[in-house]
Structure 1
Amino acid sequence: MEKDNVNTVKYPALLDIKFIKVASSLGMTKRELFVKMVEYFYRTKKDPSDINDDLLKSSFAKSHKTYTSFIKTQEQLLLIPMKEAMDKMISNQKDIVKYFNEQVVNANKSILKNQLEQKAKLQETENLLIKVIEGKEKLKVNFLQILNSYIRNREELGSFKTREKEELVESVRKQISNL
């Protein structure tokens, strides 16, 4: 600041109180604040008497309209189609999960039912096989008893008693058929 060319400005005392408050709140002297104000209005070409600053408002409004139109365009071009596609995809995935769950549950029930049936039939087959094996062993024992009895009785009869031999053979056949 040039100290040799100093000019004075006269203004009311009430305005000086406001001027001091503004300068102290900004951490400047009154002279520094005055220089900054003049420089600000000179560079921005704003009208200090226009408190609402229509130029600034119109600049903000223009920027706001530009941003708003950009956002609306993006919404129409990108966001709405993406949301619709996502909603459709979510719906399709829900249908797939529902269908999959139904199929899996039904398949699991069917498999479980078949496994239980197989288990029951396998148990029946096992029981039958045990009976057959036990019966086979009993049959062998009984057959051996009949055979041994036949051999012993035949040897006791001798070779000349044909009628008695035929009765013995018939008796053995009946015993074997009763097994």
Structure 2
Amino acid sequence: MEDINTKSVRYPVATDIKLEKIALKLGRTKKTTVIQMVEYFYRSKKDPLDLNDELLKKELVNGNNRIIGFFKTQEKDFLLPIFSDSGTLVTIAKQHTLYIKDIGKFMAQDLENTKKLAEGMTALQRGIAKTQTHMEDKALLKLRFSKILEYYITQRESLGWTTANVKKEELQAHVRQSLENL
């Protein structure tokens, strides 16, 4: 079996300190970190001396453009309709507020009218009760008067033509007194 670790690289101590910090940060050995760095530069074809990597810049710009495009699409598809609809909803809400205020005014007026109507109905009921009482009193008065008249007629008939004036006057006085007692 052949050992794959046959090559070695020499570098300064300052570079070794940096490499060790990178390896500790990544949680790998220095050897694994060096192997992965070489693999990275080999695959990406990037020059380690070029700190202003144009491919990386292009990728970042493309990523940013995609993100901005996504936001613009979301804004066009969702936010703008929501804003325009919310303006319409605010207008409708203001109209509904006016309608509700008008309904409130109408209800207050209707309440006042209902109170007046209830007062009128109460007064009408009192008037009807008073009229009913007067009608009952009138009927009772007619009945009593009818009894007095009947009494007068029967007594007058029984007296005849020959009866003294004193008896006639007593009858008249009795009938008058009965009428006054009504």
TM-score with structure 1 length normalisation? 0.78
CA offsets 1:36-95 (integer angstroms, 9 cap, x no match): 111111111121112343321221112212331343244245422331122112221231
Quote the Cα distance in structure 1 between the aligned partners of 2:93 and 2:75.
Answer: 25
Structure 2: distance between partners of 1:131 and 1:91? 58
The aligned residue for residue 99 of structure 1 is: 98
Per the alignment, residue 47 of structure 1 pairs with 47
- Mark the CA change 1:132 to 1:4 in structure 2 (over 3 Å): closer, same or farther: closer
The residue number in structure 1 matching 2:75 is: 75
Alignment CA distance shift 1:155-1:16 (3 Å): same
Report what 2:108 is aligned to: 109
Distance in 1 between residues matched to 2:136 and 2:56, nearest whole Å: 113
Equivalent residue letter for 1:151: E
Whether 1:141 and 2:156 are equivalent positions in the alignment is no
Question: Deviations along 1:121-179, whole A, 9 cap, x unmatched?
Answer: 11111111111121122112221121111111111112866xx9xxx8xx99xx8xxx9
**Is there any run of 5+ residues in structure 1 with no aligned partner, and where?**
none
The root-mean-square deviation of aligned C-alpha atoms, in Å, is 2.7
**2:31 paired with 1:31:** yes
Counterparts of 2:101 and 2:18, CA distance in 1: 79
Q: How many percent of aligned residue pairs carry the same amino acid?
A: 28
Output the CA distance in 2 between the equivalents of 1:89 and 1:122: 46
**Runs of 4+ in structure 1 over 3 Å off:** none
In structure 2, what is the equivalent of residue 132 of structure 1?
131
Aligned residues: 165
Q: Return the letter of the residue paired with 2:34.
A: F
Alpha-carbon distance between aligned partners in 2 of 1:158 and 1:47, rounded to the nearest angstrom: 155
CA gap of 1:4–1:75, structure 2 versus 1, over 3 A, is closer
CA distance 1:144–1:54, change in 2 (3 Å): same
Q: TM-score, normalized by length of structure 2?
A: 0.77
Question: Which region of structure 1 is more displaced relative to structure 2, 13-22 or 124-133?
Answer: 13-22
The one-letter code of the counterpart of 2:36 is K
- Structure 2, gaps ≥5 residues long: 162-167
